[in-house]
Structure 1
Amino acid sequence: MYHVRSPGRVNLIGEHTDYSGGYAMPIATDLATTLDAEPAESVTITSRAMGETRTFELDDPEPVGDWTDYVRGCYAVLDESGYDPGGFEGEIDGDLPIGAGLSSSASLELAVLAFLGAAYDLDLSREELARLGQRVENDFVGVDCGLMDQFSVALSKSNHALFVDLGEESFARIPIPADLEFVVVDSGVERSLSSTPYNDRRATIESALAALGVEHSPAVDLAALSQLDDQLAKRLGYVVRENARVRQAATALEDGESERFGDILVEAHEDLAANFDASTPELDCIVETAVEHGAYGARLSGAGWGGAVVLAVDGQNAQEIAETVEHDYRETFPEREPRTYQITPADGVTVEQR
């Protein structure tokens, strides 16, 4: 029997930078998907969260439009890469919530891929696991994501953030000061990337880069924005400044400057709200309330237009701040159902044979 622990992820800073080859800095969460499994001829998998068991044969890995596509897709991309793993019988469980912006999909993909790699001696590196997971989403499920989520789930180290250069597909681990902890507040405002301005923003950034003849956003300096029309300059200007902030945030962590790190998060949120128009009154309320009640900083985490906010807080005050923010938010937006999670930066996916 194999036991797999596959974390979720929270992006601390570096939003809407991934699809332009920019920088981001996520952490893996101590909230995780678990998979207990053993080899078998076909695949029989039970999801405790879904309350159901599904079975499929290895020669039938076509998408069916439900959660099992994240499992079926693992077989499809492994087959395309020349691997031939067998099946398994297993159960998916854990404490990672679904739909809270903590990347439960990447967590599930990496859990299955890591198990198959270990159980069938596929000799997959962590970088390969991440790239295979991205292909599951891009080529099988049909979600046009970058590598940030999978890199975070595969490559993270406890008590470290992961500085990711998405253009170079490289990374570095950044130590997190001992006093610094994180709280995620899910606003209860649901979003779908297909029904928000996400695709429009992405197209705008790609158009702006093409107009400048540049492939990746870190190669753009602010002076070059004068060559663009106002709207393109406004949107790309945010991305250029955000790339700089990711570097500044990494330096603040390395220097143990938690307050400076928090200030950078607030600056990032304000820029994202003003120049990328990706915030909502609910997200703004959470950020403002968190800072008023002693958080080092806060910003929306994820694409925006709903979803979650990440708070950087002193660990001694984490629970008090989390409870206060949730209480005040419920009073301001009584129609919303927020969820709050205290997050400890964790290791990437692990596999243990029992």
Structure 2
Amino acid sequence: MIISRTPVRVSFCGGGTDLDSFAKKVEGGGMVISVAIAKYIHVTVNDRFDSKIRLSYSKLETTNTVEEIEHDLVREALKATGVSNGIEITTIADIPSRGTGLGSSSAVTVGVLNALYKHIGRDVSPEHLAKGACEIEIDKLGEPIGRQDQYAAAFGGMNRISFNPDGVEVSPIALSRDLVERMEREFSLVYTNNTRSASSVLSEPPLDQGDKIARLRAIRDQAAEAEKLIRSGDLKSLGALLHETWNVKRGLSPLVSNDYLDSLYSRLIDLGANGGKLLGAGGGGFFLVHGPPDLRSRLVDDLPPENRVIPLKIDHDGSRIIHPK
């Protein structure tokens, strides 16, 4: 049996500039600052006695051929690795695997590819996994998404990820042990109890294309500022920058936020957060918030149970095979 473990990610600033429609057409390309977190997609791959293909995720599938598979990400990953029959694949997620704003769908693709490559005897690089996942999701399936999630999941850690017509460049941001501990104390994730398809939000045409490009340029500039603040350890200013980013992001599309999300964000600020933003394309998922170390306990005490609060814990490994070791 092969088991892969792949992290999801938190994007501090720059989300939206990783889409090809911006990164490959606007001077300067795109840039995000993101970190992989210790919430994982586990994928198991095992041989079957017969020649059928069995998948277990939120539903069960048993098919005779790859083409019959309904799970599009797994189907294309099987095609990409040349595995055609006699296999069983299971995916297990620490958090909902779609619509959370944490890049979980791409983590599934990266994790399935990693496990399948190991199954056929190939050890592949994070770069290979990320490129392969982008080819599946964007090139083959035509999803209107960006390229940051695949690279964040494959590489792990904190990174500046740059996007341009020539490709994607991952530049690690070194974090001291003290800074990691401070980030993990001061940043929290708050579940909105709503999920949404990133594709549905990202495919919505903007009311004003010129305004959208201007906002994305501002978001890219905020990513550069976020990197400076992280490297200097100024987390309070980083939290305030998240607030500015959220205000810019809300104007990208009417689907990014709604009355409920605006009300929840105001509640988070009232409880002591000095800034935050909704992760992912918008419309639901998780808020990332920053505040003093005692903020998390206040959030847990004051928010209803459906607004689950999760500590931010950084993953440093990226997608890896955990069995066999």
Question: TM-score scaled by structure 1?
Answer: 0.76
Q: Which residue does the alignment assign to 1:77?
A: 80
Greater C-alpha Rg: 1
Structure 1 letter corresponding to 2:257: S
Structure 1 letter corresponding to 2:78: Y
Q: Which residue does the alignment assign to 1:310?
A: 288
Query: Given the alignment, which residue of 161, 165, 181 partners 2:162?
Result: 165
Partner Cα separation in structure 1 for residue 233 and residue 296 of structure 2:
22
Deviation at 1:236, TM superposition (A): 1.7
SS at structure 1 position matched to 2:16: coil
- Taking the TM superposition and a 5 Å limit, the aligned residue runs for 1:1-354 are 1-19=1-19, 20-21=22-23, 22-40=30-48, 42=51, 44-47=53-56, 50=58, 52=60, 54-57=61-64, 60-62=65-67, 64=69, 66=70, 68-79=71-82, 88-99=87-98, 100-157=100-157, 161-167=158-164, 168-176=167-175, 177=179, 178-181=181-184, 182-193=187-198, 195-196=200-201, 198-201=203-206, 231-274=208-251, 277=254, 278-314=256-292, 316-317=293-294, 319-324=296-301, 326-327=303-304, 337-346=306-315, 347-354=317-324
Give the percent of matched residue pairs that are identical in Structure 1 and Structure 2: 23
Deviation at 1:46, TM superposition (A): 4.5
Deviation at 1:151, TM superposition (A): 0.4
Deviation at 1:183, TM superposition (A): 2.3
Deviation at 1:72, TM superposition (A): 1.3
State the Cα deviation string for residues 289-316 of structure 1 (Å, max 9, x = none): 32332334201211123333211344x3
Return 161-170 or 273-282, whichever deviates more. Answer: 273-282
Q: Aligned-pair RMSD on alpha carbons?
A: 2.8
SS at structure 1 position matched to 2:221: helix
Q: Which residue does the alignment assign to 2:27?
A: none
Return 162-171 or 36-45, whichever deviates more. Answer: 36-45
Question: TM-score scaled by structure 2?
Answer: 0.82
Deviation at 1:281, TM superposition (A): 2.4
Partner Cα separation in structure 1 for residue 141 and residue 251 of structure 2:
33
Partner Cα separation in structure 2 for residue 120 and residue 74 of structure 1:
13
Deviation at 1:139, TM superposition (A): 4.1
- Unaligned residue ranges in structure 2 (runs of 5+): 24-29
Q: 1:145 to 1:194 in 2, by over 3 A?
A: closer
Partner Cα separation in structure 2 for residue 14 and residue 325 of structure 1:
31
